[in-house]
Amino acid sequence: MDKQKPIGMQGLVDERERVQKIIANSGYCARRKAEELIEQGRVKVNDTVIRIGDKAETFDRITIDGKPIHSERKVYLMLNKPFGYVTTTEDPHEERIITKLIDVPQRVYPVGRLDKFTGGLIILTNDGEFANRIMHPRYEIEKTYYVKTDKPISSEHIMALRQGIMIEEKMTTSAKVKKLSADEIELTIHEGRNRIVRKMMESMGFMVKVLIRIQIGRLKLGHLKPGQYHQMTQEEREMVLMGTEPEVRKDGRRGTQKRRPFRKKVTR
């Protein structure tokens, strides 16, 4: 909040952060959900209702519906989502929710979505900054899918996928396509539009029989069976974000070509 700093802190560099980011980093919810809570007037800083864009400091008291937020140990999980499960934290109309497959004390939420009948790799975490880096369009993190269709896929169809397809009055970006058999391909894209892979194939007259996400960034699904998950290592987290952070050159400008892996700061 914009207020006088305590004695002894005046003159220091402004270390305030937007409240939605603080909430996300605490593990309470994702940043977009935090913005919704702020817009609904449910978030207060030092007993004052805030607006989107307001900032706070580490010593400020942030509450949601009157309850203070608390930081949790950061958790990073990779899950092989089974078919038939929904990608959400709660849904009164669905019994099969992916968070019910997870048994950790922290409250984690899925990073992005897979539709109910798509299986494969999905990440769950309580680290809002990490989640935002994966989901934000500016970082263009690639996702690779195994796709099996109801009929053979021709070279013309593959060329169309590589060049881009008009979906809902907007062209898809160029996809990478690897043909596995007459009716099977690996499709790599970095778009996050809802059900985009199915819509791309359906626009060319195909019915998708099997759709599995097998890779995010350089992180592969590996040998996880449907319903299994494990704690991600630091190396695995870096594999997801590899190449998403522009290199800072010696002149202080941010590079546009060469990139480096993301490394999370460690507070000692």
> Which residues are the active-site residues?
115
Distance CA 79, CA 87 (A): 11
Residue appearing with tokens 């929904």: 86
Continuous segment of H or E residues that includes residue 174? none
Q: Which three-class secondary structure string do you get for 47-106?
A: CEECCCCCEECCCCCEEECCEECCCCCCCEEEEEECCCCECCCCCCCCCCEHHHHCCCCC
Closest to 8 (Cα-Cα) out of 59, 56, 70, 48: 59
Q: Which three-class secondary structure string do you get for 26-46?
A: HCCCCHHHHHHHHHCCCEEEC
**What number of other Cβ atoms are within 10 A of residue 224's Cβ?**
16
